[in-house]
Structures are given as structure tokens and as C-alpha cells.
Amino acid sequence: MKIELWGVRGSLPTPLTNNEYQLRVRSIIETALTNSSSKTSIDDIIKLLPSHVSTLYGGNTTCVTVKSRKGNLAILDAGTGLRPLGDQLITEEAGEGKLTANFFFTHTHWDHIQGLPFFKPLYIKGNKFIFNSPIRDLHERLNYQQKFKFFPREFDDTDSVKEFNQLKLNESFTIDDSLIVDFIPLRHPGGSFAYRFREGEKSFIFSTDVEFRGNAVESFTSDHGDFFCSADLLILDSQYTLDEAFAKFDWGHTSYSMAVNCGINWKVKKLVLTHHEPSYSDEKLSSIYSDAQEHMNASAKAAQIEVPELFLATEGMVFDI
């Protein structure tokens, strides 16, 4: 499986502000002036920059792709990250109306569907999309978002072929005879779902928009722990700091420290923290990642256990498992 991240922010898109951009430029110039010499290359300077200056974590809302060994495409959620994905796809077979792909929706809060009207392959005749979700009225919800009063082209008036498939709990869905998909419900206002993709002995789990806290993790693990157990890759909601998670009780999101605890408890191999709070700057996200890594290392040392390899979700990040 090849997993690629196209949108990693929560709630709403967050473009870089002029002030943030100027602070980055200042940091780059200061680093260059401080370390410049006849032997210092541009690449050397870039390596000296702090991560929040050298890296844009991304401002698009949730969208992730899974590609099977046979090349079949699954798209997880349709946040604004779907737009650049569509731009890429139309340079390939989607531009010729020859793409078939499966969508899977965790839920239909706006930040997880708002990219769909701007997904260019949806408008090209010959392309086919299967919309999968446990949500009974998914078609109605997606169609409502593009009613003419909100958008100039209605969903059902786009030229691609569209099919809807209501998934059933405890029943697996198979793509191309090798990629098996199943799901479980999550704690989130209005409901949400985690998806697990299995191909051969490998497994990838996408679990955004969920609130894990305290003893609830233990009870959840007793009910669903085998779902997450030993996953090769887990992308998990970690929108808040611990203090903010306490202040936003029942908002449906998890703190980064609790996400780390979950990854350790479930013995996953790689843990990716995602659905970044839109008010957090890249500098704060970089600090959160450092704190999460420190928490991970402290847990490993105290319990003398192996812990997951930790990542901070970044647009363009790719995992092959």
C-alpha cells in the first residue's frame, strides 16, 4: 500500500499569513548571515533552519489516499486537500475520463467534504467514483452541499459516474481482491468512523475526529483494541494540547499526549499525528511534535518497551507499507 497525505488540518483551511511568511524570511536571512562562508552552500543553510521554518506542514483540510499494489485508488475524506489531488489526477488517466476510484468518508462535517466541489475529475465524463460510508443518506448530504444557492454546479449535474455504497458494521469491503477495508464507530459529535485497510500482512488505519481521554481509552481498547492492535501505520487525531483538550471537553478531538498513549497501548509501528488545530502556527506544531516525541521517549524508558515511530502529519508525506 502507498499512503499519501493531501490535507492534514482540522476544522478549516489555514493559508500562510503575510506575517508568518515574513518571519520565515527573516529567520532564513538571519541563519544565512550567521553561517555564511565561501564553503557554505544553500543546502547547508537549509539544514540549519528550524523545522517550522524549513517545512510547511500544510493548510488544507483532511484528505488522504491509499493506493493498492494493483494501482487501485481509495480516497479518504474530501477536505480541501482533495483539490490538489484532483489537479494531479487530471494529468493522468482522470484527465482522459478513465479513472475509477473509491471514496471513504469518516463523517460529513464540512472540513471533510468541502473540497469535493473543486475536485476536477468529478466533472469529466467517463470517470467513475464509488462513494462508501456507513452513513445512510450520504448522497443527500453531498448533493445538499452543492445546491445552486451555495455553488454554481450541482453535485448530481457533474459528468462523472457516481455510485453509493452503504457500508455495514462488521462486514468487510474488498477492493481489487487484495485490499480489504473495514471500520468501527468513533466518539465525535454527530458520529465518525475509523477505517482499516489491510493488504496481505500489512495494515493501515485512519482515525481522525475522535475524542480519546483517560479511562475511556481502556474501555475503548477492551471493545475495539484488536482493530488498532499492531497496525503498521496509524494516522490519529491529535488536534489539541492536553490543556486545550480539557478546556474543550466533548468537542470530539484528542490531545497529542493521549494520541501517543494510544499508539503505545495498541503497539502500532508508525504513528502519525494529524488534524492540526487551525489556530496553531507551524512553530507551535513543531513544538508539539517535540513534546510528543519527548513523551514517547519517556514512556519507553519508564516501561522499557518498544514504541511507535512518530511523525507529524505534513502535506505531501508518503508512506509505503
The CATH number assigned to the domain holding 147 equals: 3.60.15.10
Distances (CA, A) of 260 to 217, 271, 281: 12, 8, 21
Total-model pTM: 0.94
pLDDT at residue number 140: 97
- Type of residue numbered 92: E
- Note whether residue 283 is domain-resident: yes
Q: What is the pLDDT of residues 140-187, one digit of tens each?
A: 999 999 999 999 999 999 999 999 999 999 899 999 888 999 999 998
- Note whether residue 25 is domain-resident: no
Distances (CA, A) of 179 to 66, 85, 186: 10, 21, 22
- Note whether residue 19 is domain-resident: no
Task: Enter the C-alpha cell of residue 296.
Answer: 514517547
Task: Enter the C-alpha cell of residue 130.
Answer: 464509488
Domain count, the chain: 1
Q: What is the pLDDT of residues 10-43, one digit of tens each?
A: 999 999 999 999 999 999 999 988 887 767 888 8
CA–CA distance, 160 with 195 (Å, rounded to integer):
25
Task: Please choose, from the candidates 91, 97, 152, 142, the residue with its C-alpha nearest in 3D space to the C-alpha of residue 123.
Answer: 97
Tell me what percent of the residues of the chain surpass a pLDDT of 70.
97
Q: What is the pLDDT of residues 185-226, one digit of tens each?
A: 998 999 999 999 999 999 999 999 999 887 666 666 667 768
- Note whether residue 21 is domain-resident: no
Domain that residue 315 falls in: 2-14+56-320
- Note whether residue 91 is domain-resident: yes
- Per-residue pLDDT band for 233 (boundaries 50, 70, 90) equals very high
pLDDT at residue number 213: 80
CA–CA distance, 223 with 221 (Å, rounded to integer):
5
State whether residue 39 is helix, strand or coil.
coil
Helix (H) / strand (E) element for 166: namely strand 161-166
The answer to whether the CB of 6 falls within 8 A of the CB of 76 is no
- Note whether residue 125 is domain-resident: yes
- Note whether residue 41 is domain-resident: no
How many Cα atoms sit within 13 Å of 190 on the Cβ side? 9
- Note whether residue 23 is domain-resident: no
pLDDT at residue number 225: 64
State whether residue 25 is helix, strand or coil.
helix
